Amino acid sequence: MKLVDAHCHFDFPGFEGRRVSELEAASQAGVVGLVIPGVRRPDWERISNTALAHSGLFYCLGIHPWFVAEHSTEDLDALEQLLSRQPDRCIAVGECGLDRLHGELTAQRPWFEAQIELASKFDYPLVIHSVRTHDEIHATLRRTSWSGKALLHGFSGSYQQATKLIDQGCFIGVGGVITHPRARKTREAVARLPLESLVLETDAPDMAPLGVAVGDNSPVYLRQILECLAEIRGEQPEYLASALFSNTEALYGAALWQ
């Protein structure tokens, strides 16, 4: 069984001093790699250094909607310059997007659109953050004529919303939220969605699965998410793991974890 954590903040300081042990424990659970999303320009170097220090780790470059106020157009220019160089192990643009619960959408939207444009220009997939904005994300992708692939990370919407996003080129990120019985809408959605549209993620250290303390999430728990998904869908974990692995490589555009 081979699993890839499609979205994990493994560069965060909370993993300092224990990354090797975390990766070893995750490997025992079948995890062969992970993807580290970008959040802020000051973190990009740390993200790339973390990925390059370990086999199986890849990363994204982007500006998260929570932090747009900290950035200027110079940072977008710097992002464009970096992406134009096709840096080693950088495989997507993001984490970018919209968040209705953190800041103003009017301020976030230009940054999201600018990163969509860069991803299109340099032929990268997108990694999208969306909190209560799935309809707006879909509308923005349509308005900007997005024709690539994207990860709608941390999905917690309805089946109807997910279907529209899939039609717009999105894979749906399945994380720890599905392990919580109260998340009925999301559990029902992932049970019905086509398997070829799903990928696994932890969003560690956040988005903790059931039984894990807030802030203590880790790639180690990716297997728990897989087993929960198998139960929800009524499918064998081994069968799911193979399909989800293929989906993750299709999303990020290459055979990265062979």
Residue 117 has what pLDDT?
A: 98
What average pLDDT does the chain have? Answer: 96
Average pLDDT over residues 85-104: 96
pLDDT for position 3 = 98
Q: Residue 248 — very low, low, confident or very high, per pLDDT cuts 50/70/90?
A: very high
Query: In 58-82, which positions are buried (b, 16+ CB within 10 angstroms) versus exposed (e)?
Result: bbbbbbbbbbbeebeeebbeebeeb
Residue-wise pLDDT for 187-207, tens only, equals: 999 999 999 999 999 999 999
Check whether 219 has a pLDDT greater than 90. yes
pLDDT at 179: 97
* pLDDT value of position 255: 83
Residue 34 above 80 pLDDT? yes
**CA neighbours within 13 Å on the CB side: how many for 124?**
29
How confident is the model at residue 51, as a pLDDT? 97
**pLDDT for res 14:** 92
Residue 254 has pLDDT above 90, yes or no: no
- For residue 174, how far is the Cα from the chain centroid? 9
> Does the structure show a pLDDT above 80 at 258?
no
Q: Note the pLDDT tens digit of each residue in 98-118.
A: 999 999 999 999 999 999 999
pLDDT at 250: 97
pLDDT at residue 190, rounded to an integer = 96
Q: Dump pLDDT digits (tens) for 127-183.
A: 999 999 999 999 999 999 999 999 999 999 899 999 999 999 999 999 999 999 999
